[in-house]
Amino acid sequence: MIDLEKIVASRRGFMGLAGAGGAALAFGAGSAEAAKVRTSARILILGAGAGGAAIANRLSERLEGAQITVLDGRPQHWYQPGFTLIAAGLRKADYSISSTTQWLPRGITYINEFAAEIDPEANRVVTTGGQRIDYDYMIVATGLVLDWEAIEGFDLSMVGPETGISAHYASPEMAEKSWHALDKFTDEGGIGLFGRPATEMKCAGAPLKITFLAEDIATRKGNRNKVELIYNSQADNLFGVPVVDHRVRQLFDDRDITYRWKHVLKAVDAGAKTATFATPDGDVTSDYDFINVIPPQRAPQVVRESGLSWADKWTDQGWIEVDQSTLRHLRYANIFGIGDINGVPKGKTAASVKWHQPVVEDHLVSEIAGRAGTKTFEGYTSCPLITRIGRAMLIEFDYKNHLVPSFPGVIAPLEELWISWLMKEVALKATYNAMLRGRA
Ligand SMILES: Cc1cc2nc3c(=O)[nH]c(=O)nc-3n(C[C@H](O)[C@H](O)[C@H](O)COP(=O)(O)OP(=O)(O)OC[C@H]3O[C@@H](n4cnc5c(N)ncnc54)[C@H](O)[C@@H]3O)c2cc1C
């Protein structure tokens, strides 16, 4: 029997349950509870996605008189955890779309442009429209870019039912087109190819989720015997956390989903319906009727050219050189990173962004107040790993690959549960929205 009160009372998890009225529950100490600090500091936030919007709200609650500027050229805010639901035909594209400005607090300056140049030596950023912005503190929250061009022969215009190509990472609209491709494939049958890139990636569980969902949808249609599903792993495991890897293998075996090790997608021939994978033994070309393309992922070019990236790690990806506990830049003490852009060993999920917030807020506000911050990020990463419609495993872990369940004794992380599904399908969005407002 699930103890909902215990779940609701938990202060730890990213995912609260939406209340009857649909309101999100906020966890953790609300920033509004802390005393305001007076300052005239100029704070620049690059990006108004999950991390940027949330920290803008938190800082505007904590600081009085600060000049906070948020830069983001995308007028739409995308709720990306919803892309999986859209790609499985459970939601329409508009489920994940809102406006960027609706999440930003009053009293800040929002510039609807991207950063085009970042000069951390001069404490200056130039926008795509040529505006120069000088800052005292900067928070980099640009997220990452999807390197579609790295897949030879592939173009996003190919996505859809006619080609059998799916690319649900790209955007809400592409996730919906991806659903039409999956719908046709699970009607007609054939070979379906899935997999993940060899770079770091956001939500490393998402390639597995879409594979599980494809299997489930084919089964529900009575067409399971018409489809062959092959998952291409970039490594020799299905998930980086060993105990989770073991469990996912077990489920793939039970459901007759084949997997291949060290197969990294490098080219798609949409005419011939073949995909080529780089492997340690040379290229392997496979036929497909359906393919889910998830490309390599990197820091945006402007960040890679800024001098903020690690020089000796992830050199082809450009994640920024922050301390993994404080998220403060290791060479520029007035710069912090939030979200996917951070060069830390774990944590490219919205759930991690939630735990980046209090750390960056604490160190930045403390410094302004003349104290030292004390909060640390321990690598919290969470992935409600959908295994079929109506079932998920609520996987939460840290830098040490320890499982850190939010609801110990209540929700078993490695069991396929309806409550874990509910968290992904219903509660996650409400909690994400609360986070954007700085309240979770
Ligand atoms: C298919 C899919 C499923 C996912 N599922 C889950 C899940 O179940 N659970 C979970 O926790 N997470 C999930 N995630 C991951 C989650 O969405 C991201 O980790 C999270 O959004 C990261 O937040 P962010 O602020 O770093 O980046 P984003 O939210 O991507 O925001 C980055 C913002 O920066 C802006 N930007 C980019 N370049 C610049 C620039 N040069 N100047 C200014 N602004 C710039 C962008 O326009 C964007 O608005 C999923 C992601 C995908 C794609």
Q: Where are the domains of the chain?
A: 19-144+299-380, 148-296
Share of the chain above pLDDT 70, in %: 92
Strand segments, DSSP code E, in 225-296 are 227-232, 258-260, 264-269, 274-278, 284-287, 290-292
pLDDT category of residue 27 using cuts at 50, 70 and 90: very low
Atom of ligand 1 nearest to the CA of 384: 8
- Between the alpha carbon of residue 180 and those of residues 48, 89, 97, 289, the distances in Å are 30, 8, 19, 13
pLDDT category of residue 33 using cuts at 50, 70 and 90: low
Which residue's C-alpha comes closest to atom 38 of ligand 1? 142
More confident residue, 93 or 31: 93
Using CB atoms within 10 Å of the CB of residue 409, give its burial: 0 to 12 exposed, 13 to 18 middle, 19+ buried: exposed
Q: How far apart are CA 201 and CA 145, in angstroms?
A: 10
Task: Output the pTM of the full model.
Answer: 0.94
pLDDT category of residue 425 using cuts at 50, 70 and 90: confident
Angle at 97 between CA 88 and CA 327, to 5 degrees: 95
Q: For the residues 286-307, what does the mean pLDDT come to?
A: 98
Residues near 254 by Cβ (< 8 Å), separated by ≥ 6? none
Atom of ligand 1 nearest to the CA of 302: 41
Q: How far apart are CA 58 and CA 4, in angstroms?
A: 28
As a whole number of Å, the end-to-end CA separation of the chain is 27
With both helix axes pointing from N to C terminus, report the angle between 350-368 and 428-436 in degrees, rounded to the nearest 10.
20
Token pair 């750390």 is found at 359
Atom of ligand 1 nearest to the CA of 53: 25
Contact 297, 202 (CB under 8 A): yes
> Is 5 a residue whose pLDDT tops 60?
no
Please choose, from the candidates 53, 52, 97, the residue with its C-alpha nearest in 3D space to the C-alpha of residue 77: 97
Cross-strand bridge partners of residue 69: 44, 109
pLDDT at position 315 is 97
> Is 314 a residue whose pLDDT tops 50?
yes
Which residue's C-alpha comes closest to atom 35 of ligand 1? 47
Report the residue count for the chain. 440
> Is 15 a residue whose pLDDT tops 50?
no
Pocket mutation for ligand 1, best pick of 90, 127, 203, 422 (most atoms within 8 Å of C-beta): 203
Contact 381, 398 (CB under 8 A): yes
Q: How far apart are CA 177 and CA 192, in angstroms?
A: 16
Q: What is the DSSP letter of 151?
A: S
pLDDT at position 352 is 97
CA 59 to centroid of ligand 1, rounded, Å: 20
pLDDT at position 424 is 80
pLDDT at position 426 is 81
> Is 251 a residue whose pLDDT tops 60?
yes
Asked whether the domain spanning 148-296 has the same topology as the one spanning 19-144+299-380, the reply is yes
Q: For the residues 81-97, what does the mean pLDDT come to?
A: 97
Atom of ligand 1 nearest to the CA of 303: 41
**Domain 19-144+299-380: what homologous superfamily?**
FAD/NAD(P)-binding domain (3.50.50.60)
pLDDT at position 224 is 98
Helix (H, G, I), strand (E, B) or coil at 116: strand
Q: How far apart are CA 102 and CA 104, in angstroms?
A: 6
284 backbone dihedrals φ, ψ, rounded to 5°: -125, 130
Express each pLDDT in 162-209 by its tens digit. Answer: 999 999 999 999 999 999 999 999 999 999 999 999 999 999 999 999
CA 143 to centroid of ligand 1, rounded, Å: 5
CA 332 to centroid of ligand 1, rounded, Å: 24
CA 52 to centroid of ligand 1, rounded, Å: 10
The CATH architecture to which 148-296 belongs is: 3-Layer(bba) Sandwich (3.50)
Which range is least confidently modeled, 1-5, 61-65, 329-333, 365-369?
Answer: 1-5
pLDDT at position 407 is 87
Contact 83, 69 (CB under 8 A): no
Contact 320, 308 (CB under 8 A): yes
CA 74 to centroid of ligand 1, rounded, Å: 12
Token pair 């710069």 is found at 335
CA 370 to centroid of ligand 1, rounded, Å: 32
Residues with CB under 6 A from ligand 1: 46-52, 71-72, 74, 80-81, 83-84, 114-115, 141-143, 168-169, 202-203, 206, 300, 302, 339-341, 348-351, 353, 382-384
